[in-house]
Amino acid sequence: MSLVKNTASVSGFTLVSRIFGVIRDALIAMVIGTSAQSDAFFIAFRPFDLLRKLFSDGIFSISFVPQFSRYLETGRRKEAVSMVFSALILLSALGVFLMVSALLLAPWILRMMAPGFVPGGEQFAFTLVLFKIMIPYLYIIMVISLCMGVLNTLGNFYVPAITPLVFNLVVILFTLSATGYFDMPVTGLALGVVFGGLVQLGLQIPFMVRCGMLKPVRFVLWHPGVVHSAKKLIPCMVGAAPYQVNILAASFFASFLPEGSVSFLYYADRLVQFPLALVAVSFSIVLLPFFSKKAAAGKMDEIVPVFDTGVRLVMFAAIPAMAGLMVLNGPIVQLLFGQGAFGAHAAARTAQCLFFLATGLWAFIGSRVFVTLHYAVASFRDPFFAGILSICANLVFASVLTGPMGITGLALSVSLSSAAGFVYLIFHPPAQVRFSRIQMVISACRALFLSAIMAFTVNWAAGFLINDAHGKLLLGAGVMVCVALGMAVVFFAARAMGFPEFDMAAQLVKKGAKTD
């Protein structure tokens, strides 16, 4: 099985899942818009969404997969199975403890997350109810992440990749049906999140049983592999998830801003998550087991060329995606969210947030790929420092920019802080891996050059093709034509100019990069 085939498969399922995720968010925007209700839901959902990204997007696997892979690569499958079962028991115990703690400490947790919501007020009280409804989702996320990491390492990328689609479908179903039964429609959404997680987990359990991962020959509660992974868990999360932490911090600041600000940032983040998941998460999910296995076998020379090619192609894809979101920010937001309770003001403010948040897309994606490499070769220090740098920088930028720029300043602060963390990682690669920074920068410059041509062309075409006054159908057609035009400009310009990244991508698609 080739890396290219696995990455394409994961990317394909991720694309479909994200499309339905956008449909889900569009329906939520139509039902609840950007109001006090939506702010309450997104604040209550934010910590669970953070955990979902930490765990379900593969960040939890970063601490678990390398050690699990070592057992498999050295022929100790019984130890690997024992490690999985030990992790399941300990995660269950931790999950119960966290759920009880979250239930008891919910008022204090919300005061920290949204200090702008007045304790005792109606919005605070309703946010508290939504938060308590979604508490079971916390445990569900943890078990889903364990199943995902195990199945990916065993070569089953399809099931973990398709279950987020099921989650989105369940939430869509609740949005269309359950919200009408409550005085506050977002209550139905909170229930949809919990039931969606249950269905997502239920689909993975049979495959875990089929692989024999839930039937240990011997049971060890504190398995050495789990203990080793647990020691690395917090540093791994800090290093791998500064973007998610920074978005959470931005929501903290946004709670002080006018009504709807939390929602504007949420919807902008959802659109940035589309290319971020499609490129960075898909690459990381496939590359982590590959790098971990090669590192465990001592084949570091096989890691370097794959990473060098991968990071150049990732930059070559991320920068045009960034430019596309910046140029078409307004039409995309209007097309996807501009209906029902989501009015023109909400669309305009969300588009402004999207513009500034998209400026950091290259850093969001690049950081994830570098962190994946570090953790696969058991390098934890530099990603941790990069994460701390990014988080601290975000707090400084947010404090400075919120006053003059409002909610858009918070979006820009997330982008700037991510760029700071990424630059740190570029100059601090793992000691065992020597890649060409110069070639990566050259690839980025080529992509920037193509993006400038593409942005000019798409912006010119949008003036003729996109007009919201003509209705959704024509607006959607205009956006799709502009997106297709942008992709065509990048493709044919790269080919005409003989950029090596075009040939690299073509060769990978044609031949594949074999894992064996």
Q: What tens digit of pLDDT does each residue of 114-143 get?
A: 777 767 777 788 888 899 999 999 899 888
Check residue 414 and give its pLDDT: 95
d(CA 91, CA 144): 11
Is the pLDDT assigned to residue 51 strictly greater than 50? yes
pLDDT at 453: 94
- Residue 281 neighbours by CB distance under 10 Å: 24
Distances (CA, A) of 409 to 108, 193, 253, 402: 27, 30, 10, 5
d(CA 9, CA 512): 13
Nearest to 251 by CA among 59, 119, 114: 114
Lowest mean pLDDT among 338-342, 394-398, 512-516: 512-516
The token pair that represents 134 in the structure block: 């979604």
Residue 516: what pLDDT?
41
More confident residue, 348 or 61: 348
Please state, in angstroms and rounded to a whole number, the distance separating the CA atoms of residues 45 and 43: 5
Structure-block tokens of residue 180: 């009408």
Residue 515's pLDDT is 42
- So what's the pLDDT on residue 513? 43
pLDDT digits (tens, 9 = 90+) for 239-295: 777 888 898 889 888 888 888 888 899 889 888 888 887 776 666 666 666 777 777
The pair phi, psi for residue 482, each rounded to 5°, is -65, -40
CA-CA-CA-CA dihedral for 475, 476, 477, 482, to nearest 10: 90
Q: What is the pLDDT of residue 352?
A: 94
Coil, helix or strand for 255?
A: coil
Q: Using one digit for the tens of pLDDT, what is the confidence trace for 402-436?
A: 989 999 999 999 999 999 999 999 998 887 777 77
What's the rounded Cα separation, in Å, for the pair 203 and 212? 16
- Give start and end residues of each alpha helix (H) in 57-177: 61-73, 77-113, 122-133, 136-153, 158-177
Could you read off the pLDDT of 338-388 as tens digits, one per residue? Answer: 877 778 888 899 999 999 999 999 998 888 888 888 877 777 788 889 999
Give dist(CA 394, CA 451) in Å, integer: 27
Does the pLDDT of residue 512 top 60, yes or no? Answer: no
Query: What is the DSSP-derived secondary structure letter of residue 276?
Result: I
Q: Which two tokens stand for residue 217?
A: 């020959």
370-373: long-range contacts, CB 8 A cutoff, minimum separation 24? 370/311, 370/422, 370/425, 370/426, 370/429, 371/62, 371/239, 371/240, 371/284, 371/425, 372/62, 372/283, 372/284, 372/287, 372/288, 372/291, 373/287, 373/291, 373/303, 373/307, 373/429, 373/430, 373/433
φ, ψ of residue 514 to 5 degrees: the values are -70, 140
Length reported for the chain: 516
pLDDT category, 514, cuts 50, 70, 90? very low
Which amino acid is present at 5? K
Which tokens hold the place of 369?
Answer: 């790929």
d(CA 475, CA 337): 12
Highest mean pLDDT, choosing among 151-165, 227-241, 316-330, 333-347: 316-330
Report how far residue 122's alpha carbon sits from residue 249's, in angstroms, rounded to the nearest whole number.
23
Mean pLDDT taken over the chain? 82
Q: Which residue has the higher pLDDT, 227 or 57?
A: 227
